[in-house]
Homo-oligomer: A and B are copies of this chain.
């Protein structure tokens, strides 16, 4: 799917560059985060952590890379092939290295010298959880807090569509009933949270950007069954609001491939709420202006008290 960047999105991006909030790189959708962005990022991440802490989640962190096998066991390759970042490495010796450098000096394609490794970039924060919990869940299921450094290959001039970004997720694994209840509970809580940050959001049924023609049908089915809700905010364009959080029920889509059963051995379901930290930060700059010190008192208190 080609996405068109609007002039307003590019203008917002340029204003962030001008204020030193984001730093451009030579690659679309890959930015440095300046001191002001970092300060807001840390505040938002702490705010999200606190919002989930009353449920005492198990706090795990996973690297920006994940085993290729983990991603292949889901339908990611079928559903989102164009978003994957596949990691390749150089395995040659002195001779191949010399050829590599000669190729470099002559402007040849360096990367033909590289071979696929057993790693890909992490596409979503929760993926590494599923192989970890393979087996039977305890009564009541399990609840996780994960913050992931995620990657999706979607070069764009819309600052809200970064190739590299952070998802902070709470993930529940349990019964079909508990998974659905978790999703619905967080749909309310996440709206309340965004309201506390002074962000006007709308909740809407959504679908993932499945690849190709078969993908359109998958997306339609996902919408029909109302499995995914997104909280949409205006970042730089009213016409195309940005999803800053999402509440998802995965049914048994991830529990079956990883052989996860609920207590007693029946089928398990999973659900998650995901907060797009960079997108929430951008929504705050868009809503409250480029100077965090001038933001409403209540918002500042919630981020930095």
Of all chain B residues, the one with the shortest Cβ separation from A80 is B90
> Which listed residue (B60, B66, B116, B165) contacts A114, Cβ 8 A?
B116
- Tell me the complex Cα distance, A93–B82, Å: 9
B35 and A163 within 8 A (CB)? no
Instruction: Answer whether residue A94 sits at the interface, using C-beta atoms and an 8 A cutoff.
Output: yes
Question: Which positions 43-93 of chain A face chain B at CB distance < 8 Å?
Answer: 58-70, 72, 77-78, 81-82, 84-93
The verdict on A30 contacting B60 (CB below 8 Å), with A72-B104, A85-B65, A90-B82 known, is: no
Q: Nearest B residue to A128 by beta-carbon distance?
A: B32
Stretch touching chain B among A19-27, A226-234, A282-290: A19-27
Considering only residues 156-201 of chain A, those with a C-beta below 8 Å from chain B are: 162-165
The answer to whether B87 and A85 have CB atoms under 8 Å apart is yes
CB distance from A119 to the nearest CB of B (A): 6
Instruction: State the interface size on chain A (CB cutoff 8 A).
Output: 71
A211 touches B87 (CB 8 A): no
- Nearest residue (CB) in B for A118 is B27
A interface with B by C-beta (< 8 Å): 23, 25-27, 30-35, 37-39, 41, 58-70, 72, 77-78, 81-82, 84-94, 97, 100-101, 104, 109-112, 114-119, 121, 128, 131-132, 149, 151, 153, 162-165, 211-213
**A255–B184 alpha-carbon span in the complex (Å):** 53
A75 to chain B, nearest CB (A): 10
A82 nearest in chain B by CB position? B90
Return A150 CB to nearest CB of chain B, in Å.
Answer: 9
- Determine whether the beta carbon of A61 is less than 8 Å from that of B41: yes
Selected A-B contacts with CB under 8 Å, 23 pairs: A23-B128, A27-B118, A34-B60, A38-B59, A38-B60, A38-B61, A41-B61, A63-B149, A64-B151, A65-B121, A77-B100, A77-B110, A81-B90, A86-B88, A86-B90, A86-B111, A87-B87, A87-B88, A88-B114, A88-B116, A89-B153, A93-B212, A117-B153
